[in-house]
Structure 1
Amino acid sequence: MMRLSTLFKHPLMWPVATLVCLFAIDVAHRANFLSITLLSRHLFGAPIDILMNAAPLVVVSLGMTLVIATRGIDISVGAVVAIAGAAAASVLEGDPTRVGTAFAAALGVGLLAGMWNGMLVAFVGMQPIIATLILMVAGRGVAQLLTGGQIIPIGAPGYLFAGGGYYALVPCDVWIAIAVTILTVLIVNQTALGLFIRSIGVNPVAARLAGLSSQAVVFGTYAFCGLMASVAGILISSNVRSADGNNAGLLLELDAILAVTLGGTSLAGGRFSLAGTVLGALIIQTLTYTTYSIGVPPEATLVVKAVVVLLVTLIQSPTARAFAARQLRRAALVRRARESA
């Protein structure tokens, strides 16, 4: 019993249970949901589709995790995704062979965007939601200026390979998401940076009094978040073979925040889980796939998604679980009293 209670208290227990439940619903609706086939030296199947579509969200959510862990927030990542795709498309429009330059341009603008947010938050002292709201609004305008308000098609094979190609049977964007996840885990867990981020999230004043350069750490997390958003911008624009300054990455910041919170990261800062974030992103993408596959009307999809996220969040909340347990015990006592009478 003690081991079972310990399992239920594990921070990854509920995200894993939620993902398993969604898979069970899909299997019940379609028996071959988990089947994966090999066709033309590529793997195909619903799990592969979910992984492929979740890759950009995983990448963005990893950057968002570190920002939230420092008591911050970045609601501009969707706009940065659009800017990165637009910058790459603008380079390739002039010369389709400049694939390396396109990648550098996309990553560069994402890094600059993150550094801009980090400067406003860490050094100017603006509230994170206000600082990133500025870029969220202006970023769409910048992306549309780069694209001239048009959807720019991308035809460079080298660029399209990042989001639409396959390597070792698996889509390249899945490999990129895996590589980014491993790199982030190594940076956070194998260096002192993870401890610094947790310290700032728990008590920024104490961290500063202890000699920790909190401004530099916060600035770095926002820069990293912007860089991750630009990687997602490359994957998305490559996958759809175009750059759309108006719709690329639209509402992606909300999905990223949901993925982070579903994974167990505290919005109050300090406590975060990269593994939980990856699970949260997979939950959101699987939920999207499930709602469409079981025939939920498109106009009701967002409502169903919101209800499921609310239920999962309540299940993860210790306060909500304790309240439910008290109500169950009270109901049991009332039933026994009635039976004894």
Structure 2
Amino acid sequence: MTSLISDEPVRADLSTRLKNNGGLVALAVILIFNILVTPNFLQAQTLAVNISQVATIAIVAMGMALVIATGGIDLSVGAVMALSGALAPLIFQSDFGTAYPVLGIVASLFLPLVAALACGLFNGTIVAVLKVQPIIATLILFISGRGIAQVLTNGNLQTYSNPDFSYLGTGKILGFPFQGWLALAIAIFLFWLVNRTIFGRYLLAIGGNERAAKLSGGPVRKVKIGAYVICSILSGLAGLIVVAINSASDAARNGNLMELDAIAAAVVGGALLQGGKAPIFGAILGAVIIQLVKYTLLANGVEDEVALIAKAAIILAAVYIQQARKE
């Protein structure tokens, strides 16, 4: 006997739901696997370490999501992290920072972010004004930024002991890592910026149809530059957090391959590579997935090199899902 009700619409609806919520499904699978298989996964120390790592990736990924929303990309985020992280200890350990500790800490937080802002202006100007392809424009700082950081530190590991600065990476509020609260505050602000301001409206319009945005009189150049500036500032902040966590600045390693993590997190979180969408909280979800994949592999004895292959596979899957949504 043939059923009067076809199950095809049900299957189609299920397929659509899986495509639209693929990130949440992936997160659920990873969490269940770790709870059942990975030793000590639910211990407070393990969770704190993962939150610390996630916060750093999420902060950069949210900035990357803004850049991708314009149809661009920023390969320099890791180099900006290295540069910002190299500057901070140099400032608060200088004669000025030693003589005026409070001002030294303030300067070590403020001046590296100013340097990061300058990097964003550099990237944004080359992309928006000189019309250079984003991947080429940001490749300049990708190469030179880390080199500048190593020159500033003479290529040496900078260790320090400064509890006030280290609070940025090791402090806790209500038992939750400070950088986690910071990432949440940034997410709320950027969500408001994208969804409630003229800047956000034009940001999405540029990625959707840049020519139409220009014809409508939108400040296309300013918005593009603004996206790169925000991305660089957030990258600089992430660089400071990494230094604060480790009580050391290593220009050769700080932010190494962060561009891969940030792009992967943004894309997994729903960012469209052609632009037009800036999923801020989606970028956080993507960062959680990227970090948990890395942690899961390492905690279960899989080599770090395999984690890189896994990240590439995640990006490929996310892009495939994006294409499937168009069909």
TM-score w.r.t. the length of structure 2 is 0.89
Shift in CA distance, 11/230, structure 1 to aligned 2, threshold 3 Å: farther
Shift in CA distance, 125/312, structure 1 to aligned 2, threshold 3 Å: closer
Residue in 1 that maps onto 2:162: 156
Identical-pair percentage: 34
Tell me the distance in 2 between the aligned counterparts of 1:312 and 1:124. Answer: 31
Native 8 Å contact 1:92 1:154 kept in 2: no
Q: Which moved more, 1:159-168 or 1:310-319?
A: 310-319
String of CA shifts for 1:29-73, please: whole Å, max 9, x gaps: 04753x35xxxxxxx243332221111110001111010110111
CA apart distance, 1:11: 6.6
Shift in CA distance, 216/305, structure 1 to aligned 2, threshold 3 Å: closer
Residue in 2 that maps onto 1:330: none
Give the count of matched residue pairs.
313
Residue in 2 that maps onto 1:334: none
Tell me the distance in 2 between the aligned counterparts of 1:310 and 1:122. Answer: 28
Native 8 Å contact 1:12 1:276 kept in 2: no
Native 8 Å contact 1:79 1:139 kept in 2: yes
CA apart distance, 1:124: 1.6
Residue in 2 that maps onto 1:56: 56
Residue in 2 that maps onto 1:20: 28
Q: What RMSD over aligned residues (CA atoms) do the two structures have, in Å?
A: 2.2
Tell me the distance in 2 between the aligned counterparts of 1:208 and 1:219. Answer: 15
String of CA shifts for 1:158-180, please: whole Å, max 9, x gaps: 11000111121111111111111
Tell me the distance in 2 between the aligned counterparts of 1:299 and 1:206. Answer: 44
Tell me the distance in 2 between the aligned counterparts of 1:61 and 1:257. Answer: 7
Does residue 1:90 correspond to 2:95, yes or no?
Answer: no
Q: Secondary structure at the match of 1:124?
A: coil
Does residue 1:73 correspond to 2:59, yes or no?
Answer: no
String of CA shifts for 1:90-109, please: whole Å, max 9, x gaps: 10221252100100111111
Shift in CA distance, 313/199, structure 1 to aligned 2, threshold 3 Å: closer
Which structure 2 residues correspond to residues 1-341 of structure 1 after superposition, within 5 A?
5=13, 8-9=16-17, 13-30=21-38, 33=41, 35-36=42-43, 44-94=44-94, 95-96=97-98, 97=101, 98-311=104-317, 313-315=319-321, 317-318=323-324
CA apart distance, 1:301: 3.2
Amino acid at match of 2:170: G
Native 8 Å contact 2:74 2:138 kept in 1: yes
Amino acid at match of 1:90: L
Tell me the distance in 1 between the aligned counterparts of 2:211 and 2:316. Answer: 33
Shift in CA distance, 159/11, structure 1 to aligned 2, threshold 3 Å: farther
String of CA shifts for 1:208-253, please: whole Å, max 9, x gaps: 0111010010011011111010110111111111111111100101
CA apart distance, 1:272: 2.9
Shift in CA distance, 181/149, structure 1 to aligned 2, threshold 3 Å: same
Residue in 2 that maps onto 1:328: none
Unmatched tracts of structure 2, length 5 or more: 1-8
Unmatched tracts of structure 1, length 5 or more: 37-43, 323-341
Tell me the distance in 2 between the aligned counterparts of 1:184 and 1:112. Answer: 20
Shift in CA distance, 21/135, structure 1 to aligned 2, threshold 3 Å: same
Larger radius of gyration, structure 1 or 2? 1
